Amino acid sequence: MTGSVPAYWPIVLAVSGILQQVTIPATSTVYGSVDWAYTLDTTLLFGGVDLYVVVLDANWNIVAFQQIQFINRNRNAPAWRTFNFDFSGQLPGPGSYYVGLLAYWRADFITGYTAAIYMDNFHLYVDDPSLYGAVVERSAVRIVNLHAVINWTASLRVESYSYSGLVNWVNVSLTNVLGYESNPEISFREGIIVSNDTGPAQLSYSGSINDTLYLTVEGDLDAPGAFLELNMTLVLDSGTGVVLEYPLVLRVEQP
């Protein structure tokens, strides 16, 4: 989204936005929320940008509206940031909605400017009891302070595991901010680890914009009390002989 404002005040705000049409299912929906990741592409010396999340109904009426943050000269070109908006109880009911991100560019007294907001990783979540047993979860893992201008890679390796109950299958993978997913992925099938590590995911140091990985977990657990616990190692490899390893425990459980 790109917006520009001229070099005088007062002026009508420049507004830009991106909307995604979504359909909230009608069956036993309990709550809903959306996730975004976003960043600003340039340093703001003047003016500022207000970021808003908005939910519109099928007739383009606003049903939910909330500010994410204001970016100004004191907050220059932030790295990728994530934001979750829970609209439980705010929607009239199941149906078609438009969910999006709006940017309001503000002018100032001195100069005009143009700035762009980039958005990625839009996810809509709804809780439907008919889907209980299925697991789909994505969490961000930030890797910071890699003080070397080289490209690192990251991977996960299973050291040991335990499980109980009916765990049909669980997959675990890594994805970087550019959307490249590790291949293969960690795979558990009916009591056996079929694949015990992920392939490498590129983790470039070239600015903090690339220091985030996403851990994606998918699977199917059949009964309350069933769980799978994976004791893993997160391996960071510089490609120049330096390897960093961190322990990581993942537990997937059916409540």
Last residue of a domain, one of 108, 129, 150: 129
Q: Which domain holds residue 192?
A: 132-253
Confidence band of 161 (pLDDT split at 50, 70, 90): very high
Query: What local confidence, expressed as pLDDT, does residue 249 receive?
Result: 93
* Cα 103 from chain centroid (whole Å): 19
- Same domain for 76 and 143? no
List the beta bridge partners of residue 249.
Answer: 231
Report which of 218, 199, 188 is spatially closest to residue 153, judged by C-alpha positions.
Answer: 199
Last residue of a domain, one of 69, 99, 129: 129
Is residue 89 predicted with pLDDT exceeding 80? no
For the purposes of burial, counting CB atoms within 10 Å of the CB of 199, is it exposed (0-12), middle (13-18) or buried (19 or more)?
A: middle
CATH code of residue 82: 2.60.120
- Same domain for 109 and 185? no
Beta 192-195 vs 151-164: how paired, if at all? unpaired
Q: What pLDDT digit, counting tens, does each position of 162-216 carry? A: 999 889 899 999 887 767 788 889 999 989 999 999 988 887 655 555 567 888 8
The single-letter DSSP state of residue 198 is: P
Last residue of a domain, one of 96, 129, 162: 129
- Same domain for 156 and 89? no
